[in-house]
Amino acid sequence: MSGMAKLGTAPVPGTYEIDTGTASLERDHYGESSWLLRVNGVQSSHVDLNDPLRLEFEYMRWMAAAINQWPAGPAPYRRVLHLGGGACSMARWVTAKYPTSRQVVVELDGKLANYVREWFDLPKAPLLRLRVGDAAEVTPTLTENTRDIIIRDVFAGNKTPASVSSKEFAEQIKRVLDVGGLYLANCGDDSKLEEVRRESQVLSEVFEHVAMISDPAMFKGRRSGNVVFAASQVPFENLVALERDLRMDALPAQFRAV
């Protein structure tokens, strides 16, 4: 393996052994402080060490837009649970945007979590805690009504595991969310949108209000990509501002109620 630097050093390009296989760290040639992380060959995360508010992946920018307008504009304090860590791009963004927030990141791969904390200078507890474990097993152990926002970005290869997209799991998410909480789930799918339709049905059986965010080409079944589900027990507010923000994204997106 190349790039086997000791923990505690700056990021070094290379391939690293982790619990679930290998992680590859590459420089982003479009930014001196930017890095791309691949897990078992699949693109996982992008991090800009000098600008945590920069989100290179469009679906993360869509999530950020939803958070910014929930429930009706910026709030100074958010209790956020991240299911799936990767390079903790969204957690770094939340810290930069809402500095007093408290976050927990659940990451399956313990070695990857250790590398990421050292490479990318993550905030320390209690601002940000990394918990090693399977999201499907950790979530049922959490206390009810203790999170304002839950973000699911869990993949096995390029697929969302069935264990975190089932009705039973959605019910656990609903239990852990506080009243008025928001669930954001990244769903990767091909142009047939079979998984999108399936999860749309599942979430609609659990939550009172469910919507999807993606670009028009994805909604029309013209390409493979990501759909972000937004689910809550309360209506979505400030939709005009959210839809404006989504239209202004580098990859313009739409908000569609299910």
- Domain boundaries along the sequence of the chain: 51-257
The mean pLDDT of 210-239, rounded to a whole number, is: 96
Q: At what angle do helices 167-176 and 194-206 cross, to 10 degrees?
A: 50
Per-residue pLDDT band at 89 (split at 50, 70, 90): very high
Average pLDDT over residues 174-195: 96
Tokens representing residue 78 in the block: 């958010």
What span, in angstroms and rounded, lies between the C-alpha atoms of 69 and 187? 21
What are the backbone angles phi and psi of residue 89, rounded to the nearest 5°? Answer: -60, -45
Per-residue pLDDT band for 76 (boundaries 50, 70, 90) equals confident
pLDDT, residue 9, reads 65
Q: Identify the band that residue 77 occupies on the pLDDT scale cut at 50, 70 and 90.
A: confident
Q: So what's the pLDDT on residue 114? A: 95
Whether residue 236 is predicted with pLDDT greater than 90 in this model: the reply is yes
CATH level 2 (architecture), domain 51-257: 3-Layer(aba) Sandwich (3.40)
**Hey, which bits of the chain come out as E strands?**
14-18, 21-27, 34-39, 42-48, 79-83, 102-107, 128-132, 147-152, 177-189, 209-214, 225-232, 254-257
- What global pTM score does this model have? 0.94
